[in-house]
């Protein structure tokens, strides 16, 4: 698979956010099968949001075989642990939505004490036939804290201050291309925006000492 990159924020030496385009070769991805698996669960539970979150349930290997297979296939693009594969059928209403930084590479809201001084790198792969919109603040966390903005680097919180906002779309998947957004999610405040077209994404992440230890 051939990949091209566009730096969205940062520099060539120290990129903070990068949009990648992956051109399909002979690779096969069970995207439709994973979508249908999550959709079946969401319909059964009458929920508009459903996902495969590794480690949250003891029987996930039994409940999500297609998602697990897709996650394995996508590792050719992302050498990071899977955080989740999530399907949203329409615009969600969640108390956890809003501008924030990540304190954990998965879905925990408290930073692991063993990684107190580490940063989180995240990769979002858009598996949907519609764009995935991300809003973000083009100023890193430490600079915002120096300006007096209340941001905890150790606990999840919604940032309510008025800040400059930019938008980036992760383009939809096609028969030829797949797109991913790589960024330092503990450094750049961000939020995903889902409209009534819904979303279908895979998220990968991990802790690193600093951006110099993992070049996105």
Taking only the tens place, the pLDDT of each residue in 145-175 is: 999 999 999 999 999 899 999 999 999 999 9
- The per-residue pLDDT for 195 is 87
- The per-residue pLDDT for 61 is 66
H or E segment and range at residue 45: helix 31-45
| 17-21, 50-54, 89-93, 175-179: least confidently modelled range | 89-93
For the question of whether the overall pTM of this predicted structure is more than 0.85, the answer is: yes
User: Which has the closest alpha carbon to 60: 48, 47, 71?
Assistant: 71
For the chain, give the percent of residues with pLDDT over 90: 74
> Which CATH code, of 3.30.1490, 2.60.60, 1.20.120, 2.60.120, is assigned to 2-213?
2.60.120
Tell me the average pLDDT across 31-40: 96
The phi and psi torsions of 200 (rounded to 5 degrees) equal -150, 105
- The per-residue pLDDT for 103 is 96
Confidence category of residue 89, pLDDT binned at 50, 70, 90: confident
Q: 19 vs 71, 125, 127, 216, CA distance in Å?
A: 20, 10, 15, 10
Tell me the average pLDDT across 60-75: 88
Is residue 60 pLDDT above 70, yes or no?
Answer: no
Q: What ranges do the domains of the chain cover?
A: 2-213
Q: What are the CB-based long-range contacts (under 8 Å, 24+) for 36-43? A: 36/66, 37/64, 37/65, 37/66, 37/67, 38/64, 38/67, 38/85, 38/86, 38/87, 38/200, 39/87, 39/89, 42/87, 42/89
């Amino acid at each position: 698979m051939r990949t091209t990159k566009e730096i969205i924020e940062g520099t060539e030496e120290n990129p903070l956010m990068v949009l990648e385009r992956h051109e399909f070769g002979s690779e096969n991805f069970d995207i439709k099968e994973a979508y249908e698996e999550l959709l079946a669960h969401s319909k059964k539970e009458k929920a508009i949001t459903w996902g495969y979150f590794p480690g949250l349930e003891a029987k996930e290997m039994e409940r999500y075989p297609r998602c697990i297979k897709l996650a394995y296939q996508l590792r050719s693009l992302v050498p990071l642990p899977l955080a989740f594969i999530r399907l949203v059928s329409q615009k969600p209403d969640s108390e956890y939505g809003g501008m924030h930084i990540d304190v954990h590479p998965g879905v925990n809201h408290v930073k692991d004490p063993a990684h107190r001084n580490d940063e989180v790198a995240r990769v979002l792969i858009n598996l949907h036939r519609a764009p995935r919109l991300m809003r973000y603040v083009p100023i890193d966390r430490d600079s915002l804290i120096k300006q007096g903005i209340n941001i905890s680097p150790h606990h999840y919180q919604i940032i309510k201050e008025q800040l400059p906002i930019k938008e980036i779309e992760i383009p939809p998947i096609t028969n030829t291309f797949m797109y991913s957004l790589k960024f330092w999610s503990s450094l750049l405040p961000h939020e995903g925006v889902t409209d009534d077209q819904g979303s279908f994404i895979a998220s990968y992440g991990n802790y690193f000492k600093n951006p110099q230890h993992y070049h996105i």
